[in-house]
């Protein structure tokens, strides 16, 4: 462990990766083999922030606005 945060010091289950929230796929973490619950992540990203387009693809097929 190279860097310790408050949760590390307290021995809490947490993850230093960012949890990526997909619109139509399962949430995924930037850390490989992350087994930490979603709520234990400090950082949360929309998948569009990492160049994923599942949101747009899903919006077209699943929902038509207007
Ligand atoms: Zn930590
Ligand atoms: Zn994680
Ligand atoms: Zn996505």
In a domain, 33, yes or no: yes
Give domain status of residue 19, yes or no.
yes
pLDDT of res. 60:
57
Question: Is 18 part of any domain?
Answer: yes
CA-derived radius of gyration, the chain: 15
Which ligand places an atom closest to the C-alpha of 17?
Answer: 2
Whether 46 is covered by a domain: the verdict is yes
Any domain includes 49: yes
For residue 1, being part of any structural domain is answered with no
Q: For the segment 16-45, what is each residue's pLDDT rounded down to a tens digit? A: 999 999 998 899 999 999 999 999 998 999
**2: pLDDT confidence band, cut at 50, 70 and 90?**
low
Domain that holds residue 37: 6-62
pLDDT at 1: 46
Looking at all shown ligands, the one closest to residue 45's CA atom is 3
Number of compact structural domains in the chain: 1
How many Cβ atoms sit within 10 Å of the Cβ of residue 48? Answer: 15
Ligand 1 center–CA 8 separation, angstroms: 4
Quick one: pLDDT band at residue 58, thresholds 50, 70, 90? Answer: low
């Amino acid at each position: 462990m190279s860097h310790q945060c408050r949760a590390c010091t307290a021995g809490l289950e947490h993850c230093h990766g960012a949890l990526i929230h997909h619109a139509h796929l399962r949430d995924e973490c930037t850390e490989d083999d992350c087994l930490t619950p979603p709520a234990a992540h400090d950082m949360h990203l929309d998948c569009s922030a990492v160049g994923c387009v599942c949101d747009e693809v899903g919006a077209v097929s699943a929902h038509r606005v207007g």
